[in-house]
Amino acid sequence: MLHGIVVVDFSHYLPGPFASWRLAQLGAEVIKIEPPSGDRLRPFAEGRLFAAYNVGKQSVALDLKTEAGREQARRLAARADVVIESFRPGVMARLGLGYDDMCRMNEQIIYCSISGFGQQSGRSLLGSHDLNYMALSGLLAQLADERGRPVHPKVTLADFIGGMAAAERILAALFARERTGKGAHLDVSLVDGLTAMMAGHFAIEHGGGPKTGLSELSGEVVCYQLYETKDGRYMSLAALEPHFWRRFCEAVGHPEWTEAQWAPARPGEEVYDGLVALFREKTLSEWSAFAETVDACLAPVLEADEAKRLFAGGQVRRLVAMQPDGVWTAAHGPDGRWDVEAPPKVNEHAYLLKGEE
């Protein structure tokens, strides 16, 4: 889809690289600009995290603290369609690599700046990380235990949702350029996507409703709930539609529960206590087999290794490829670029600079 589109990516860690990884899987040529020591993400988890989100890219090492390095960066960017950067606001401009600098060389450049709070906000220059963005957006308060305490997520949602938002904006800008011939400076913040996700919660609370959104989706009713199994695992039941709930109740031999679809999910409630006891009668494996035969919106809560095998096997969709040197995941579906065997080594594609001299 993006064959012929060149992306020069100056970003580090996760949000920017996640965005350019998604563009690479759509066919774009992504040139990753790294310092001579490499992307700061490379040392984490023995390089596995870097590998996961940088396959399909080319690496060029440049020292942007030197004029020679900055000049080489300008030459690469001059022929690019898209530039991505995730430095603090103002840093790229001070290096002579900001949007205005790039635009003078290439009026059609699409320049995407990814930051925590945007280029010109009250918190633009404050350091923050994923946990902070989730906390400020109101999202973290939604991930609470039964006592209302926020639970520490094991996925950096702001990074990935922010990266997806950046890729979305870049694709829209490329489409607009086809119509107008004009480039753009995209100001993408990591709180943008999280705040957009909270729009419904904000609207409900503003209208006098609860802070936790729809009660039907917030773990307050028996038909949309997590239940523990005999072996200490969990099943997710999401039978919101009456026909799914009826089908589940009949399949487990409790048709009398059909009229109690919206019963409260709390101890002491007859149907809830009955469901808790029911799910503890079978193991996760047994309930998983049941879920494959009864169409009632029931699914096991899988661990990372189990989900990896599920999507590598293709029983649902083939989204994961397991190879001796790594595990590659398709960003957009089963048509992902499985021909990619490994992420780039630091400065592996230095030869690209020769064409810019």
**127 pLDDT band (50/70/90 cuts)?**
confident
Looking at residue 340, its pLDDT comes to: 62
Same domain, 180 and 245: no
Q: What is the 3-state secondary structure (H, E, C) of the chain?
A: CCCCCEEEECCCCCHHHHHHHHHHHCCCEEEEEECCCCCCCCCHHHHHHHHHHHCCEEEEECCCCCHHHHHHHHHHHHCCCEEEECCCCCHHHHCCCCHHHHHHHCCCCEEEEEECCCCCCCCCCCCCCHHHHHHHHCHHHHCECCCCCECCCCCCHHHHHHHHHHHHHHHHHHHHHHHHCCCEEEEEEHHHHHHHHCHHHHHHHHCCCCCCCCHHHCCCECCEEEEECCCCCEEEEECCCHHHHHHHHHHCCCHHHHHHCCCECCCCCHHHHHHHHHHCCCCHHHHHHHHHHCCCCEEECCCHHHHHHHHHHCCCCCCEEEECCEEEECCCCCCCCCCCCCCCCCCCCHHHHHHHC
Q: Residue 14: is it exposed, middle or buried by C-beta count within 10 angstroms (0-12/13-18/19+)? A: buried
The yes-or-no answer on residue 39 being catalytic is no
Summarize the confidence of residues 212-228 as an average pLDDT: 96
The structural domain count of the chain equals 2
One domain for residues 267 and 171? no
- Residue closest to 166 by CA, chosen among 10, 336, 3: 10
Same domain, 146 and 111: yes
Diameter over CA atoms, the chain: 78
Structural domain includes residue 307: no
Give yes or no for residue 341 having a pLDDT over 70: no
The residue whose two tokens read 């083939």 is: 318
129 and 190 part of one domain: yes
Residues 228 and 178 both lie in one domain: no
| Res. 248 pLDDT band, cuts 50 70 90 | very high
Catalytic: 159? yes
- Contacts with 32 (C-beta within 8 Å, 6 or more apart), sequence order: 9, 17, 20, 39, 54, 57, 58, 59, 60, 344
Is residue 276 domain-resident? Answer: yes
Do residues 160 and 264 both lie within one domain? no
Please check the confidence at residue 339 and state whether its pLDDT lies above 70. Answer: no
Tell me, what amino acid is at 213?
G
pTM (whole model) above 0.85: yes
Residues 146 and 45 in one domain: yes
Residues 113, 173 within the same domain: yes
pLDDT tens by residue, 274-318: 999 999 999 999 999 999 999 999 999 999 999 999 999 878 888
Q: Is residue 317 part of a domain?
A: no
Among 9, 39, 130, 159, the one annotated catalytic: 159
CATH of the domain at 148: 3.40.50.10540
Residue 12 in this model has a pLDDT that exceeds 80: yes
Kindly state whether residues 186 and 242 are assigned to the same domain: no
- Please indicate, yes or no, whether residues 185 and 226 belong to a single structural domain of this protein: no
Question: Of 100, 129, 273, 295, which one is the catalytic site residue?
Answer: 129
Give the residue numbers spanning the domain of 72: 4-195+340-351
Q: Are residues 133 and 25 in the same domain?
A: yes
Does residue 167 share a domain with residue 81?
Answer: yes
The CATH number covering residue 271 comes to: 3.30.1540.10
Confidence band, pLDDT 50/70/90 cuts, at residue 183: very high
